[in-house]
Amino acid sequence: MVYKWLNNSLNKLFPYFCALCGEPAQAHIAICKECHNKLKYIDNKCTQCAIPLTGTAKNSICGQCIMHAPHFDQSTSLFTYNTPARQLISRLKFHKKLSLAHLFGTLLAQFIEQQNRENLPDCIAPRPCSPVTQATAR
């Protein structure tokens, strides 16, 4: 109860503004509803590596994962890499807008909670940006 009161007070003192348009945002998240609706969530993806799939049944595994099974059972991704998600990812990765990490983390948590309530992940791990960083991360 104290946490909720404190959180609501902080939101009034330090309101969130949309990371895309700069307008007042939703409570506890730095994106307005209009811009949030512009983000294109991936509706069909490989259940193992989470790449977008086209022309296959939902919840299937891609050919790459069938040929070379990754060392994890399941992963997820949120958006197609198009505008406006691409803008946000670029700002986070290349312009050090670290506040966007909170936005993506919140959106990921909301997505997992909505989609996967009975099968919550054991852990959340970042995926390296490129094969070069993947090689050095091992």
- Give residues in contact with Zn ion (CB under 5 A): 18, 20-21, 32, 35, 46, 48-49, 62, 65
SS3 category, 17: strand
The CB-of-113 to Zn ion minimum distance in angstroms stands at 22
51's CB contacts (< 8 A; 6+ apart) are 45, 62, 64, 77
Nearer to Zn ion, 9 or 44 (CB): 44
- Gap between the terminal Cα atoms of the chain: 43
Q: How would you class 39 by CB atoms within 10 Å of its CB: exposed for 0-12, middle for 13-18, buried for 19 or more?
A: middle
Q: How far is the CB of 74 from Zn ion (least distance, A)?
A: 10
- Shortest distance in whole angstroms from residue 78 CB to Zn ion: 16
| CB of 18 or CB of 88, closer to Zn ion | 18
Instruction: Name the residue nearer to Zn ion (CB basis): 18 or 103.
Output: 18
